[in-house]
Amino acid sequence: MNARIIPFDYDGQAVRFNADGWINATEAAARFGKEPTQWLRLPDATRYLEALQRTYGEITYVKTSRARSDRGGGTWLHPKLAVKFARWLSVDFEIWCDTQVDALLRGEPKPWASARREAAIGYRAMCDALALNCEAQGKTPQRHHFINEARLINEVITGAFTGRNRDQLNAAELELVTLAELRDTVLIGQGMAYAERKSNLLRYVHELQGKHLRRLAA
């Protein structure tokens, strides 16, 4: 897929579209224990696809990539097929899918894009606080200071002190990153040591994750 891939949050799980409104059908179907090939073989789907081709011409409506799922792998369906396909999975999912495709095709603000921008702002605020803290101690902030702080955020969320590609996170994951960054910004401003910040952030993220799970169960 050439257009940028955008993960949307559906009931706490990512469903990927691209900027042109195509849906990753493999990923979406897996949420319901199904595969897109099952739907594509149905007589109703075949007739619908044939009708689209008669109406709009012999354009491509189904694409398949062998890449990893996080890099656009799987079966992708044209936006004119996406909602029809979503109906086969679930009526609720159909309505949600229709909303996402409509927003993408209209070029309206996207929840994921907003969450991504907020995470970037949160990271900038955290870096600014870290730089000011270093300067207050008579130190020159170095690149590894910012990298390690970002990895700290990832560690308190995922348990792994490593980098993450934020373009592959869904809106809910980005929101958690942003909240942790903003909390860390305050803790850095208070002059809290690294080990203390880590302990505080672990408790904070655990509380946020617990609230999210309770909200899903309600």
Can you give the CATH number for the domain in which 41 is found?
3.10.260
**Same domain membership, residue 160 and residue 97:** no
pLDDT at 172 over 90: no
Rounded-to-integer distance, Cα 79 and Cα 20, Å: 8
Please tell me whether residues 55 and 85 are part of one structural domain.
yes
Q: Find where tokens 């595969």 sit.
A: 35
Q: For the segment 85-114, what is each residue's pLDDT rounded down to a tens digit?
A: 999 999 999 998 988 888 787 775 556 777
Domain closes at, from 91, 106, 121? 106
Do 152 and 126 touch, CB atoms closer than 8 A? no
CA 7 to chain centre: 4
Question: What's the domain count of the chain?
Answer: 2
Q: Taking residues 134-153, report their average pLDDT.
A: 93
32 and 93 co-located in one domain: yes
pLDDT digits (tens, 9 = 90+) for 181-211: 999 999 999 999 999 999 999 999 998 887 7
Whether residues 80 and 126 fall in one domain: no
The residue out of 56, 74, 106 marking a domain boundary is 106
Task: Print the domain residue range for 152.
Answer: 111-217
